A = this chain, B = another copy of it.
Amino acid sequence: MLGFCLVGGGFIGPLHAANIAAHRRARLAWVVDLDLGAAQKLAATHGARASANLDDALADPAVGAVMICTPPRTHAAIIERAAHAGKAIFCEKPVDLDITRVDACARTVAASGVPFFVAFNRRFDPTHRALADAIRAGEIGRPEMLVLSSRDPEISPPDYVAAMPYGIFYDTMIHDFDMVRWLLADEPVEIFARTACMLDAKVNPHRDPDTAMVTLTMTSGALVHVNSSFRAVYGYDQRIEAFGEKGMLVSHNQQPTSLERYDASGIRRDPLLRFFIERYAASYARELDEFIRAIEESRAPPIAIEDGRRALLIADAAVASAKSGKAIALPA
């Protein structure tokens, strides 16, 4: 039974808390949030203890793992404290937004020897995983092109956007950058990015990019395209298309029901699942299970801090390209 301390009760925290509570071999021991009321509320739902001070939880020997769900800029400090306390770490992406801090975290984690996991949940989506398995099984031979559509139904609130400029790369496409590396088992050598501000000033007052296209060239020569938007009115648009010498694999979108409605105006189906909570419900449960099993079996969790670091490097280069209008080379 792995005891968890969940840090950060907002946003994705309640989803992870519920998954921990539902897992047969895990329990939610603590919820920590600077807003003690928020911590208490979430803790109460699952019979956990609450605190505004992480030390309270880290001191509890019943806590085997720390799950970090706070805003990105706070991750590094929590990682370091958890590592020093010898707790396994499950960290929401990105590890941090500053590559030097990520490097420092990596050193701290390595020195401490604690298991560390970056929660790139999409790797655990059943369809994406079936696509990955098919690539590895050689179904399309050598991959030649990858096309990813990664579109959110809405932009984050202005203060969230203000706290993380270029969130379209750091917060959204960072998932795709990880998927590209994982699906192709290869690294990009170059990136070119173009962005646009298409949303109204009312919802995007900081005029941060809300629309983006990226081209990646991989070591193998394979070409990759990713596009993103913060205004997919028809739902969370999450598609991956892998093209190779023997064919193509497509991970299609998903819908709440399989109902089809025919009338004189045509044939209608549901809009897409609304957002990540609905679309990736299975992947969130599976990534937690994989993390727990890795701890139980004393092996490294399936996504390392180096994966978080690589994805951030690509996001940094995307921003540099978008700002300069030039293709940016990526370190080997």
Task: Identify the 6 closest CB pairs spanning chains A and B, nearest first.
Answer: A247-B263, A234-B262, A252-B258, A127-B257, A248-B262, A250-B260
Taking CB atoms, residues of chain B closer than 8 Å to A255 are 267
The answer to whether A266 and B257 have CB atoms under 8 Å apart is no
Is A111's beta carbon under 8 Å from chain B? no
Is A142's beta carbon under 8 Å from chain B? yes
Is A22's beta carbon under 8 Å from chain B? yes
Since A144-B198, A248-B262 are in contact, a sample of 19 more A-B pairs with Cβ atoms closer than 8 Å, ordered by chain A residue number, is A134-B261, A145-B213, A147-B147, A192-B192, A192-B215, A197-B221, A211-B223, A213-B225, A232-B248, A234-B266, A234-B267, A249-B259, A250-B260, A250-B262, A251-B258, A252-B258, A267-B268, A267-B272, A327-B327
Q: Which of B151, B212, B258, B267 sits near A271, CB closer than 8 Å?
A: B267
Is A253's beta carbon under 8 Å from chain B? yes
Question: How far apart are the CA atoms of A225 and B151 in the complex, in Å?
Answer: 15
Is A108's beta carbon under 8 Å from chain B? no
Is A256's beta carbon under 8 Å from chain B? yes
The answer to whether B234 and A248 have CB atoms under 8 Å apart is yes
Q: Which of B253, B262, B327 sits near A192, CB closer than 8 Å?
A: B327
Is A205's beta carbon under 8 Å from chain B? no
Taking CB atoms, residues of chain B closer than 8 Å to A233 are 245-247, 263-264
Question: How far apart are the CA atoms of A108 and B275 in the complex, in Å?
Answer: 49
Taking CB atoms, residues of chain B closer than 8 Å to A131 are 259
Q: List 10 A-B contacts (CB under 8 A).
A: A22-B22, A145-B211, A145-B213, A192-B215, A233-B264, A246-B263, A247-B261, A249-B259, A266-B269, A327-B327
The contact size tier of chain A is: 35 or more
Known contacts A267-B271, A270-B266; is-contact A251 B259 (Cβ 8 Å)? yes
Known contacts A130-B259, A251-B259, A267-B270; is-contact A227 B225 (Cβ 8 Å)? yes
Considering residues A149, A233, A269, which has the most beta carbons from chain B within 10 angstroms of its beta carbon?
A233
The answer to whether A144 and B234 have CB atoms under 8 Å apart is no
Taking CB atoms, residues of chain B closer than 8 Å to A234 are 247-248, 262-264, 266-267
Question: How far apart are the CA atoms of A311 and B147 in the complex, in Å?
Answer: 24
Is A243's beta carbon under 8 Å from chain B? yes
Question: How far apart are the CA atoms of A145 and B209 in the complex, in Å?
Answer: 14
Q: In chain A between 301 and 324, which residues have their CB closer than 8 angstroms to a CB of chain B?
A: none
Chain A 137-172 interface mask (CB, 8 Å, partner B; 1/0): 001101011010101000000000000000000000
Q: Which of B139, B145, B262, B270 sits near A261, CB closer than 8 Å?
A: B139
The answer to whether B245 and A231 have CB atoms under 8 Å apart is yes
Is A265's beta carbon under 8 Å from chain B? yes
Question: How far apart are the CA atoms of A165 and B246 in the complex, in Å?
Answer: 25
The answer to whether B257 and A229 have CB atoms under 8 Å apart is no
Is A37's beta carbon under 8 Å from chain B? no
The answer to whether A268 and B270 have CB atoms under 8 Å apart is no
Question: How far apart are the CA atoms of A196 and B234 in the complex, in Å?
Answer: 34
Question: How far apart are the CA atoms of A259 and B249 in the complex, in Å?
Answer: 7
Is A254's beta carbon under 8 Å from chain B? yes
Chain A 94-122 interface mask (CB, 8 Å, partner B; 1/0): 00000000000000000000000000000
Is A41's beta carbon under 8 Å from chain B? no
